[in-house]
Structure 1
Amino acid sequence: MNQEKIAALEEIIHSRYSNTAGMIVLKNGETQYEGYFNGCTAASCINIFSVTKSIISILIGIAIERGAVQSVNQKVLDFFPDFPVENYNEGETTIRDITIRDLMTMTAPYKHQEEPYLEYFTRDDWVSTALELLGGPEKSGKFRYTPFIGPDILSGILVKATGQSVLDFAAEHLFAPLGITVKGNVTLENEEAHYAFMNARDVSGWVMDSKGIHAAGWGLTLTARDMAKIGQLYLDDGKWDGKQIVSAQWIAESTREHSRWEELNLPYGYLWWIADDNAFAAMGDSGNTIYVNREKELVIAIASLFKENTGDRMDFIKECVETMFA
Structure 2
Amino acid sequence: MIKKEYFHDDLERVVSKKYKNIAGIAVVKDGNTVYENYFNGYGKEDTLHVASVTKSILSALIGIAIDKGFIESVNQKVLDFFPEYDSMLADSKKQEVRIKHLLTMTAPYIYKREPFKELCSSSDWAKYALDLLGGKDECGTFKYSTAGAHLLSVILTKATGKTAREFANEYLFEPIGMKQLPNYEMTTETYMNFIKGKYVCGWVSDPKGNSTGGWGVTLSAVDMARFGQLYLNYGNWNGKQIISREWIEESLRDNSNHYGYLWWLFKEDEFAYCAMGDGGNVICCLPERNMVVAIASKFMMRPKDRMKLVKDYILPLLDREKSI
Once superposed, which parts of structure 1, at least 4 consecutive aligned residues long, lie more than 6 Å away? Answer: none
2:234 maps to what in 1? 237
Match of 1:210 among 203, 207, 211: 207
1:313 maps to what in 2? 306
User: 1:27–1:325: 8 Å Cα contact kept in structure 2?
Assistant: no
User: 1:186–1:208: 8 Å Cα contact kept in structure 2?
Assistant: yes
Give, as a single letter, the amino acid of the residue that structure 2 aligns with 1:112. Y
Alignment of 1:114-133 (within 5 A): 114-133=113-132
Give, as a single letter, the amino acid of the residue that structure 2 aligns with 1:74. Q
User: 1:93–1:109: 8 Å Cα contact kept in structure 2?
Assistant: no
Aligned residues: 315
Q: Deviations over 1:213-251 (max 9, x none)?
A: 111111000111110100111111111121110011111
- The 3-state SS of whatever aligns with 2:87 is coil
Structure 2 distance, partners of 1:81, 1:102, is 19
1:273 maps to what in 2? 264
User: 2:93–2:138: 8 Å Cα contact kept in structure 1?
Assistant: no
Structure 2 distance, partners of 1:132, 1:106, is 16
Give, as a single letter, the amino acid of the residue that structure 2 aligns with 1:246. I
Structure 2 distance, partners of 1:311, 1:154, is 30
Long gaps (5+) in structure 2: 320-324
1:86 maps to what in 2? 88
Structure 2 distance, partners of 1:96, 1:206, is 30
1:264 maps to what in 2? none
Match of 2:288 among 281, 295, 300: 295
User: 1:231–1:299: 8 Å Cα contact kept in structure 2?
Assistant: yes
2:193 maps to what in 1? 196
Q: Deviations over 1:50-98 (max 9, x none)?
A: 000000000000011001111111110111122112367xxx7522100
Alpha-carbon shift at residue 258 of structure 1 (Å):
4.1
For the aligned residue pairs, the C-alpha RMSD in angstroms reads: 1.5
Closer, same or farther: CA 151–312 of 1 in aligned 2, 3 Å: farther
Give, as a single letter, the amino acid of the residue that structure 2 aligns with 1:168. E
Match of 2:19 among 11, 17, 20: 17
Alignment of 1:1-326 (within 5 A): 1=2, 2-86=4-88, 93-146=92-145, 148-190=146-188, 192-260=189-257, 267-276=258-267, 278-326=271-319
Structure 2 distance, partners of 1:26, 1:11, is 21
User: 2:25–2:294: 8 Å Cα contact kept in structure 1?
Assistant: yes
Long gaps (5+) in structure 1: 261-266
User: 2:11–2:313: 8 Å Cα contact kept in structure 1?
Assistant: yes
TM-score where L is the length of structure 2? 0.93
Structure 1 distance, partners of 2:203, 2:68, is 23
Q: Which segment is superposed worse, 74-83 or 309-318?
A: 309-318
Alpha-carbon shift at residue 4 of structure 1 (Å):
1.4
- The 3-state SS of whatever aligns with 1:202 is coil
Percent of counterpart pairs with the same letter? Answer: 45
Alpha-carbon shift at residue 259 of structure 1 (Å):
5.0
User: 1:46–1:221: 8 Å Cα contact kept in structure 2?
Assistant: yes
Structure 2 distance, partners of 1:93, 1:291, is 38
User: 1:188–1:194: 8 Å Cα contact kept in structure 2?
Assistant: yes
TM-score where L is the length of structure 1? 0.93
- The 3-state SS of whatever aligns with 2:294 is strand
2:322 maps to what in 1? none
Closer, same or farther: CA 138–86 of 1 in aligned 2, 3 Å: farther
Q: Deviations over 1:93-138 (max 9, x none)?
A: 5221000111111111111111112311211221111011111121
Structure 2 distance, partners of 1:182, 1:128, is 29
Alpha-carbon shift at residue 143 of structure 1 (Å):
0.8
User: 1:49–1:284: 8 Å Cα contact kept in structure 2?
Assistant: yes
- The 3-state SS of whatever aligns with 2:55 is helix
User: 1:23–1:34: 8 Å Cα contact kept in structure 2?
Assistant: yes
- The 3-state SS of whatever aligns with 2:190 is helix
User: 1:105–1:258: 8 Å Cα contact kept in structure 2?
Assistant: no
